[in-house]
Amino acid sequence: MKAVGASLPRYDGVAHVTAASRFVDDFSLPGMLWAKALRSPVASARILRLDTARSATMPGVHAVITHSDVPNNVVGHQEVWGIAPDEPLLAEHEVRYVGQLIAVVAAETEAQALAAVQAIEVEFEERPAFFDMRKAWDSDQPHVTPDGNVYFYYPDQPQRQIRKGDVAAAFAEADVIVEGVYRPGAVEQAPAEPASALSVAEPNGRVTIHSTSQALYYSMDITARHLRMPIGQLKFVGGTVGGGFGGKIDTLTEPVTAVIALKARRPVKWRWTREEEMLCSSTRAAWHVEIADAVTRDGWILGRRTLTLHDAGAYMRTSAYACSKHTFHLAGAYSIPACAFNTFVVMTNHVPTAAMRGFGVTSASFAVETHMTRVAEVLGMDPWELRLKNANRVGDTSPSRVVYGNPSTVTTLLVAAEAAGVKLPPKQRAMTNAMREGALLPAHLVEQQRKPETHLLAWRDGRPALEGGS
């Protein structure tokens, strides 16, 4: 029997139903300490004083760490892509969001650690905070970072952008221009298992870190940067994780427990409470998307302009990447020959936002598809017809010039209609994703067409490409 294509049992099925699967929190070690954190109660403030002396002498406490204990405190989640580090592991002179980490205690019990956290003395000078990303450039708004409230992809260009085709001509030719605003909100990844880590300083100088990370090597890289250690000195243990949905790419519990385990010379476990998960961990970003479509009376989309603002929260995490990905997908499943898209990463005093299932595209899909239904309504056209007509065909090009080799929007729509009991006219039911021709190839779509080529990394003779494609 072939394994591929078969509904084989889960590899970990029996382990799951007997609770034999081991998650990070299920490991304990002799002498293990529990970590608890002091977090910012305010959205924006200068830290005037931070005194851990009393906390460090509380019963059961083995170590208290602040930013000065972290070998390299400020690291970025996108340094591998050349984006400057901006986020302190533990706050230094300021806090930029409610829940930001300031200090962490390791004690023999959770309760002792909690009590010791409550004994840390900290004094804030609150500052006005910035929350509405639409006002990022307004002169009366406070600045989240010393560089202002908008990230610059390039020194002279803040936005990630797409420019494709003659957008001005498309809007000049249009019969109707439909504009709308779409604002998907921030939500929690909320996996059942809270973020947890257990770090052990080994006698040979290495550090073993049990991690709930979704990306062991990625998290190991970030942890190594904080510790100023080569990654070879770290060993990440994990691979069995209680859900992630993007939230467990953020790497905070691992470096924090590593730093404090090295200081305390004891294993340290840190398991976030649900409240920390809900209030202090990253969320899916809130987005603001404005779309203007230049359309013809008979339902062709000639051009599209967009403005997107992405609420990154107080630090960058993975926002710049999310916004690039978002921008590439603002034409949705459709062929639009003229595109002008501008996407901005806006820093606010919200909790940093990061990856969540659909990363950057969920917001684009929501905005684009809701807008498509509106365009259909304005034109008095059936929403199925509008979609089927403009849907990508073989040889159509995306806003970032990807040539579609075999897009299946037409097929999925037709099958969905059938499954939902929607009776489409025979002309639509007969549509395929074959290269455009005849009535489906109006003049405005001719120039964007390309002939798809066989991919360099395509499988051949039942085996994958054995070498990279560059």
Partner 1 sequence: MLASRLAAPEPEVVVARSEAEAIAVFGDGAGITVIGGGTIVTPLLTHGAIWPERVLMLQAAGLDDISGRDPLEVGGAVTLAALAEVAPEPLAAAARIPDYEIRGQATVGGNVTVGGDLQPALIVLGARVRSAGAGGERLEPIEDFIAAPWGRLVLSFEVPRPLAGAFVQQRRRHSHTHPVITVAVALRGDGVHVAVGGLAEHAPAVACPSVERALSGGAPPREAAASVVEDVRPEDDPLASAWYRSRVLPVLVARALEQLEEAR
Partner 2 sequence: MKFVVNGRQHTSVAGPLTTLLYVLREELGLVGAKAGCQHGSCGSCTVLIDGEPRRSCLTVVATLDGAEITTVEALGDPSHLSDVQVAFNEHYAAQCGFCTPGMLLAATALISRKGRPVEREEVVEALGGHYCRCTGYVRILDAVVAASRGERLGTMAPTALEIRGVEP
Partner 3 sequence: MAVHRGRGIAAIEYPTGMNQGGDPSQAWIKIKPDGHVDVFSGTVDLGQGSKTVHTQIAADMIGVPHEWVTMNNADTDSSPVSFGTFASRGTFIDGNAIAVAAYRARQRLLELASRMLEVDPEDLEIAEGDVSVRGAPARKVGVAEVAATASWTYGEMIVGSGAWMFPHVEPDKVTGECEPNAAISCAACVAEVEVDDETGEVVVTRLIQVYDVGRAINPVLVDGQIQGGAIMGLGLALLEESYPYYPDIAHRGPEFGAYAAPAMADLPELKNVVLEDPDPVGPFGAKAIGEMANNGQSPALIAAIHDAVGVWVTELPAKPERVLRAIDERREPRREGRRVVFDEHLSVATVSPPERRPEGGWSFPLVDVQL
- Binding residues (CB under 8 A) for partner 2: these are 7-10, 12-23, 25-26, 28, 190-194, 240-243, 245, 271, 273-274, 408, 411, 415, 419
* 463 sits near partner 3 (criterion: CB under 8 A): yes
Which residue of 24, 38, 50, 58 would you call a contact of partner 1, by CB under 8 A? Answer: 58
* 321 sits near partner 3 (criterion: CB under 8 A): yes
Rounded distance between C-alpha atoms, residue 271 and residue 194, angstroms: 7
Phi, psi of 147 (to 5 degrees): -90, 10
Which one of partner 1, partner 2, partner 3, none interacts with residue 59, CB within 5 to 8 A by kind?
partner 1
| Region of 63-71, 102-110, 256-264, 429-437 interacting with partner 1 (CB under 8 A) | 102-110
Determine contact, residues 249/214, Cβ cutoff 8 Å: yes
Compose the 13-42 pattern: x for residues touching partner 3 by CB under 8 A, - for all others.
------------------------------
* CB-neighbour burial class of residue 29 (10 A; exposed 0-12, middle 13-18, buried 19+): middle
Determine contact, residues 299/379, Cβ cutoff 8 Å: yes
Compose the 59-98 pattern: x for residues touching partner 1 by CB under 8 A, - for all others.
xx--------------------------------------
User: What's the closest the beta carbon of residue 205 comes to partner 3, in angstroms?
Assistant: 15
* 44 sits near partner 3 (criterion: CB under 8 A): no
Determine contact, residues 86/316, Cβ cutoff 8 Å: yes
Q: Which of residues 257-296 bind partner 1 (CB under 8 A)?
A: 273, 275
Rounded distance between C-alpha atoms, residue 139 and residue 150, angstroms: 13
Determine contact, residues 122/39, Cβ cutoff 8 Å: no
| Region of 65-73, 86-94, 116-124, 155-163 interacting with partner 3 (CB under 8 A) | 155-163
Rounded distance between C-alpha atoms, residue 194 and residue 147, angstroms: 34
Q: Measuring CA to CA, which residue among 180, 461, 220 is closest to residue 306?
A: 180
Which one of partner 1, partner 3, partner 2, none interacts with residue 305, CB within 5 to 8 A by kind?
partner 3
Q: In the complex with partner 2, which residue's Cβ is closer, 18 or 68?
A: 18
Q: Write the secondary structure of 29-61 as one string of H (helix), E (strand) and C (coil).
A: CCCCEEEEEEECCCCCEEEEEEECHHHHCCCCE
* Residue 48 neighbours by CB distance under 10 Å: 10
Widest Cα–Cα separation across the chain: 81
Which one of partner 2, partner 3, partner 1, none interacts with residue 28, CB within 5 to 8 A by kind?
partner 2
* 351 sits near partner 1 (criterion: CB under 8 A): no
Q: In the complex with partner 2, which residue's Cβ is closer, 30 or 203?
A: 30
* 109 sits near partner 1 (criterion: CB under 8 A): yes
